[in-house]
Chains A and B, each alone.
Chain A
Amino acid sequence: MEPSQLVVELSRWQFAVTVMYHFIFVPLTIGLAVLLAGMETVYVVTRREIFRDMTKFWGKLFTINFALGVATGLTMEFQFGTNWSFYSHFVGDVFGAPLAIESLMAFFMEATLVGLMVFGWDRLSRGKHLFVTYMVALASNLSALWILIANAFMQHPVGAQLDPATLRMQLTDFAALIFNVDAQSKFVHTAAASYTLAAMFVCGVSAYYMLRHRHVAIARRSFRMAAVFGLLASMAVITLGDASGFVDVGVQPSKIAAMEAMWHTEKPPAGLNLFALPSEKHEKNFLELKMPVIGGLMLTHESTVAVPGILELERQAVQKIKNGIPGLLALEKMQKDPGDQLAQVTYDVHRNDIGYALLLKRYAPDVAKATPAQIERAAKDTIPDVPVIFWAFHLMVYFGLLMCAFFVLATMFSLLRSEYRRRWFLWLAVFMPIMPWLTVELGWVTAEMGRQPWTVFGILPTWLSASTHSVAYMAFSLAGFVVLYSIFFVIEAYLMRKAIHDGPGDVGGRKQEPAPDVDLAPQLVPGD
């Protein structure tokens, strides 16, 4: 029995909603942990108590965020079993290993170390506590690494092959799974994006304190460190994003074509669409603003390599579907008669394109009798939603460049010691943290919607992967998740606001050096 299209869509929505809520918390945890390590390093090296208070204050915000991040992450892993049962059956033997390791990282290693970091200030020596903080940073990054290794298998399945007898993917090369080029490029890009987000968060809260002339000593030091950290991280995000695109040209050309709204294969090097209104119906762009040459150079790092356009990819998909049909028929024969040698040979020849024949099965349950129109329709499905992917990707890039520019200014003003006087810039910094959150969510939309119509790229179509729940069940559970996660979000916002309002003065029951904060207000007038 196959799930209805509406159930598949609701299952996708449910996973997307939970992931996007979860990803509100995760990047801050990953980035702030690393920034905390930097702050504590200064404390240990300089022995200045203010850096200890600083680390403890940001550590408090980190802990609130970490707790809610873990809470929202729990349900996602269960969803694989409840809502994506065929997917779990099909790739569970491969997908389960990195997911299990991630759970161990998050719940055992990371949680234990966070406990040591929070409660170990007066129990551990300076050096040991610093070591623990670095381990918290490492563990939070490793958690992300294992999730992204699992995700990369869905984007670029390597290190496994289908066992025709069980209809399950079997792990054949664990090293290939870990060193998957997609996992590597996604991990470094995501980690750097998380550092950028955390830096922007610290800059924003610090700017808020400076505007209110509260906790200025800690705020200015935090702002300085976060500005430099964010500048380097945002530069890394841009560079590594380019690397991610370079990888995707080879492994997911349909995603790249949608990201660039590239309908036709252009003479290399291809141009780059800065702005466009893509129309899937007309298979063209309206109001296109294009820079010549740049797109091909950025995507392929070559001037003579062509980037395939959407229409060419659709034509290639038609061939793959036709090639996959005999393979799928052979697989069905092998299910009935495992000793069928002819079917085995046919299967071996066509195995790489069987996934494409499964796409066709949606329109032609008996693929042997599929019409050219049905094949054409299935081939069109291989291209993800072009307008959504184009704009998600382009907004992500534009926001990333804006954030990099912000950090250039923040670093410059801080090094010149003039950031405190520039109230317009502090106001900007207070509102800037919205941008990295939007950007990371847009990044997920680009990566995951760009993978469609597959759950495992080129192997397992999304329409086959979901469980066969009723529509009512899916709608009710989706509404439940939205309500529950909204409550989590409100709790996070309340706790964060309270902690920020209380400020660093309450950390550890010790007040920070108060003099500068009190005396500053009159001096601000001329510079404002």
Chain B
Amino acid sequence: MTFKELVKFAGWLVLAILGLSLAAILGYWGPWYFAWTVGTIMTVLLAAFAGALYDRQAQDYGEAGENPEAPGPES
């Protein structure tokens, strides 16, 4: 491990400890602020996942020789 990597590791470690401490304080004094923090991050990430999933589906359609932006199957 180089010195640069060590510093980087220590930096992330400090950040993680700060994050956990903040979560503990927020969880105790402001449980709904904590819920908002976690909930918003999860919502953003799931929406991002949904966007990426669209691309993946479009790619599969493309590989199958169909128009990836076609209206979709009859239900």
Contact = CB atoms under 8 A, between A and B. Distances in A.
A179 B72 contact: no
B72 A421 contact: yes
Nearest to B40: A34
A527 B44 contact: no
A45 interface: yes
A243 B33 CA distance: 13
A226 B51 CA distance: 9
Given A46-B55, A417-B57, A418-B72, A232 B46 contact: yes
B48 A420 contact: no
Main secondary structure of the interface of A (DSSP, over half): helix
B55 A48 contact: yes
A228 B46 contact: yes
Given A184-B33, A187-B32, A38 B48 contact: yes
Interface in B1-17: none
A30 to B, nearest CB: 11
A516 B72 contact: no
A39 interface: yes
A216 B67 CA distance: 12
A37 B44 contact: yes
B73 interface: yes
Interface residues of B, number: 34
A495 B40 CA distance: 29
B51 A38 contact: yes
A233 B43 contact: yes
A42 B36 CA distance: 22
A516 B67 contact: yes
A168 interface: no
Given A45-B52, A195-B43, A188 B74 contact: no
Contacts, number: 128
A89 interface: no
Contacts of B42: 232
B40 A191 contact: yes
A287 interface: no
Given A41-B45, A228-B46, A232-B43, A188 B51 contact: no
Given A184-B31, A217-B69, A516-B68, A418 B48 contact: no
A418 B75 contact: yes
Interface stretch (A159-167, A469-477, A517-525): A517-525
A520 B47 CA distance: 26
Interface string B36-64: 10011011111111111111010001000
Nearest to A41: B48
A110 to B, nearest CB: 16
Contacts of A243: 32
A385 interface: no
B30 A51 contact: no
A47 to B, nearest CB: 11
A420 B47 contact: no
Nearest to A44: B48
A320 interface: no
A34 B44 contact: yes
Given A38-B47, A45-B48, A224-B50, A527 B36 contact: no
Interface in A392-421: 411, 414-421
A221 interface: yes
B71 A523 contact: yes
Given A48-B55, A516-B67, A38 B33 contact: no
A225 B29 CA distance: 33
B55 A221 contact: yes
B9 to A, nearest CB: 19
Given A185-B32, A187-B33, A417-B57, A229 B43 contact: yes
Contacts of A524: 71
Q: Which 10 A-B pairs have the closest CB atoms?
A: A516-B69, A417-B72, A421-B71, A229-B47, A184-B32, A228-B50, A418-B72, A38-B47, A42-B51, A420-B71
14 contacts: A41-B48, A42-B52, A51-B51, A185-B32, A188-B32, A188-B35, A195-B40, A221-B51, A224-B53, A224-B54, A228-B47, A229-B46, A421-B72, A516-B70
